[in-house]
Chain A
Amino acid sequence: MSVDLGHLDLTEAARLVRERHVSPIEITEACLARIVRLEPDLNAFITICGEVALQAAGRARETIIQGGERGLLSSMPVALKDLFHMAGALTTAGSKVLANNVSVEDAEAVRRLRSAGAVFLGKLNLHEFAYGATGVNPHYGVVHNPWDIDRIAGGSSSGSAAAVAAGECLASLGTDTGGSVRIPAALCGIVGLKPTYGRISRRGVIPLSWSLDHVGTLTRTVRDAALLLEAVAGEDPGDPSSAPQPIAQYSRRLGERQDLKGLRIGKPREHFFDHIDAGVLRAVIRAIEKLEELGAEVREVSLPHIGEAPAAVGAIQAPEALAYHHRWLNERPEDYGEDVRGRLESGAAYLALHYVQAQRLREMLIREWREQVFDRVGVLVAPTTPIVATPIGESGLAVTMELIRLTNPFNLAGVPAISIPCGFSEAGLPIGLQLAAPWFQEAELLRVAHVYEQATEWRKRQIPILSL
C-alpha cells in the first residue's frame, strides 16, 4: 500500500500501522521523501536524522511483526523544534551560539514521546532562541510558508508548523512563550495547542522566559493534538513548574458529544477584536456564527486590564531572557543575530519596577478571569493573529509585535489555548481561530475545537506546493 501524506493525520496513520496495512518503514520513508522534495523550498529542518529514523522504524516493524505493543504513537514519524534536547543530536536553538551543542539526554517531553513509540525525523528550524514570531533566522535561513514560499511561516516554532503543514512529519513539538505555537499554526493552516502552564514538562527545553514558557503541539487535526498531549502531558518532579493535576484520556473524550449545546462562549469586548485585518475578521466572525449553529451560546465578556497584557508580557519576558543569556551575551555577542541581540539588550532597559508591576498585573488578571470570566463562560474565542502571513522582506520587529498581540495574554494567564484553521484570505493564506479555556480544562477545549473542525472543511484544502 502506498502512503499518501496529502491528507493523512497522525491518528489515522497510527491506526494503519497498528492494523498492519502499512509498515512503520513505509510511513517514515514517505516523510523522508517529502523532506527531500520540499526542503529546498521550505527550509523547515536544521538537522535531519533520516538514517536513525529508518533504523527506529525498522525496529518498530520487527516489534509489530512479533505482536509487541508499540505505544500510543505506534512508530509515528515526528520532529522537534530545535530547542528540545534529544540525546546524541545537535540542539542549536537556531543560534550560532549553540551551533556545536550535542545533547546528552532527552528532554522529558521527548522521553515520553519515545516511550509512546514515536520515531524522530529531526530538529526543526525556528526564530533564533525562540525570541521572535517570524522565523527569519540569520544563521539557518528563513523558514518559508508552504502556502506561499515568499511569505513567513510565523514563529517562533516556524519549522514545526511548516513541516507538519507540508507533510514532512506527522506532528511536532514546539514552545510557546507569547504565541510561538499558535501563531505559526495559524499562518500555516494547522492546529497549534498551548496547554495550561505546567501541563507539559519544560525540563530539557532551552528556555526563553521561565515563567511564560509552555511546551505545545503542532498537528494536522485536533484529534492528533489530543493524542500527542496524552503522550507527553503529566507531572514531572524534575520541572519545578510542573503541575500535579491528573491528565485525561483526551482523544477518547473528543467523541463524547458532537454538538456544543449548553456551552457558553465568551467573545471579548476589549482588545481581541481591535485593529484586525478585514479578511481575518470576516473569517473569525463566520466561525463564531458556526459555533452558534452548533449549539453554543455566544455572549460578550469584559476582560479588564487586557490591553496592558502585551506590555506586561514584554516586561517579564525581556528581563528573564536577558538573565538566561547574560553570560553568552557578554562573552560572544557577535554570535547572536542582530534582532535577537537587540531584543535581549532591551531586557537591560526594563526597570525592576516594570517587572514587579507586570507580575502584579498578572495576578490581577488571573483573579479576574477566574472570578468574572470563567464563571460566566466555558471558552473564550478570538482571532489567533490580526494578520495573515507577511512577505519575508517585510517581517521585522513591528510584524512580530503585531503577531503576538492576541496570543500572549493567554501566556500571562497560563490558561490553555488552541489555534485551529477557520478560513483563508483572498490570497489563499490560512487564518486561525483561537479558543481558550480555564486552567487544566484541555479536554473541554479540545472537544469544542474538534466539534468545530468536524463541521467545517478547512483542514481538507490542499497546499498548492504539494500538487506540483
Chain B
Amino acid sequence: MQKQIGPRTALYLGSLARIPLIDDGRHLESTLRRIERNTAALLALDFGEAEPAPCFIPRQNDVS
C-alpha cells in the first residue's frame, strides 16, 4: 500500500538533515514518494548472507 508522506514529515526530514528545503518541503514530499516507488523492489530482495560491498572495491575484484 502506498503511504502518504505529509509536508510535516518532509519538513522534519529537512530539519533532521539540517538543510533548508525548496518550497517548504513540497518538493521533498514528492521525492519521498518517488524513492518509495523506486526502492520497493530493492527492499523486497532476498539478500541471503550478502554483506555490504566495501566502498572501495578494486582490490576485492581483481580478476586480471
Using a CB–CB cutoff of 8 Å, the interface residues on chain A facing chain B are 196-199, 210-211, 240-245, 305, 307-308, 310-312, 314-315, 322, 326, 329-330, 333, 338, 341-342, 344-350, 353-354, 356-364, 366-367, 370, 374, 414, 438-441
Bound form: Cα–Cα A315–B47 in Å: 16
Which residues does chain B contribute within 8 Å of A307, judged by CB atoms?
41
Number of A-B contacts (CB under 8 A): 141
Can you list, as one digit per residue, whether each of B15-32 has a CB less than 8 Å from chain A (1) or not (0)?
011111110000110011
Which residues does chain A contribute within 8 Å of B41, judged by CB atoms?
307-308, 311
| B42 contacts A358, C-beta separation under 8 Å | yes
By beta carbon, the residue of chain A nearest B61 is A439
| B28 contacts A440, C-beta separation under 8 Å | no
Select A348's contact among B17, B56, B61, beta carbons within 8 Å.
B17
| A345 contacts B38, C-beta separation under 8 Å | no
| B19 contacts A330, C-beta separation under 8 Å | yes
Query: Could you list 9 A-B pairs, sorted by A, with CB under 8 Å?
Result: A199-B58, A241-B55, A342-B31, A346-B28, A354-B35, A362-B53, A367-B50, A370-B61, A439-B64
| B13 contacts A349, C-beta separation under 8 Å | yes
| B62 contacts A439, C-beta separation under 8 Å | yes
Q: How far is the CB of A78 from chain B (nearest CB, A)?
A: 25
By beta carbon, the residue of chain A nearest B60 is A366
Given the contacts A345-B27, A349-B35, A363-B51, A198 and B64 also touching, CB distance less than 8 Å:
no
Q: Does B2 contact A (CB under 8 A)?
A: no
Most A CB atoms within 10 A — which of B32, B42, B56, B58? B42
| B56 contacts A240, C-beta separation under 8 Å | yes
Select B64's contact among A326, A330, A441, beta carbons within 8 Å.
A441
| A366 contacts B57, C-beta separation under 8 Å | yes
| A348 contacts B16, C-beta separation under 8 Å | yes
Given the contacts A338-B22, A439-B58, A360 and B38 also touching, CB distance less than 8 Å:
no
Which residues does chain A contribute within 8 Å of B28, judged by CB atoms?
345-346, 348-349
Which residues does chain A contribute within 8 Å of B57, judged by CB atoms?
197-198, 211, 241, 366, 414
Which residues does chain B contribute within 8 Å of A345, judged by CB atoms?
14, 19, 21-22, 27-28, 31
Select A357's contact among B20, B42, B56, B61, beta carbons within 8 Å.
B42
Select B63's contact among A305, A312, A349, A370, beta carbons within 8 Å.
A370
| B53 contacts A366, C-beta separation under 8 Å | yes
Which residues does chain B contribute within 8 Å of A196, judged by CB atoms?
58
| A360 contacts B51, C-beta separation under 8 Å | yes
Given the contacts A326-B19, A359-B52, A439-B63, A354 and B58 also touching, CB distance less than 8 Å:
no
| B62 contacts A305, C-beta separation under 8 Å | no
Q: How far is the CB of A99 from chain B (nearest CB, A)?
A: 20
